[in-house]
Amino acid sequence: QSALTQPASVSGSPGQSITISCTGTSSDVGSYNLVSWYQQHPGKAPKLMIYEGSKRPSGVSNRFSGSKSGNTASLTISGLQAEDEADYYCCSYAGSSTRVFGGGTKLTVL
């Protein structure tokens, strides 16, 4: 079971849109619509932002959206704001009752 692959860092200016990719395999991301995304600010616990690929929990801004194509899931943040600067992690069901996280992506708002 290998970690999902995410870019180490992405950046964008306020108001812009960015996309973070999460690449897995046909055994995890590609086989199940069970990808979730988490936002983590320094020293804080992760916060669920997207689940089941594209659904937003109550209270999460609609600037956050998720999608999937093949073995790659994506998180898009539109209208970037300073408070979006954080680490982002994807997670997928990986079969056989296991779950796997991505390595994380540091988002910098320029």
Could you give the C-alpha distances from 63 to 30, 102, 110, in angstroms and in order? 25, 22, 18
Count residues contacting another protein (CB under 8 A)? 25
Residue 39 is a binding residue for another protein (CB under 8 A): no
Residue 83 is a binding residue for another protein (CB under 8 A): no
Least CB distance from residue 14 to another protein, whole Å? 26
Q: For another protein, which residue of 18, 22, 51, 65 counts as binding (CB under 8 A)?
A: 51
Q: DSSP letters of 93-110?
A: E-STT-EEEB--EEEEE-
Residue 10 is a binding residue for another protein (CB under 8 A): no
- Which residues, in sequence order, are CB contacts of 58 under 8 Å at separation 6+? none
Residue 60 is a binding residue for another protein (CB under 8 A): no
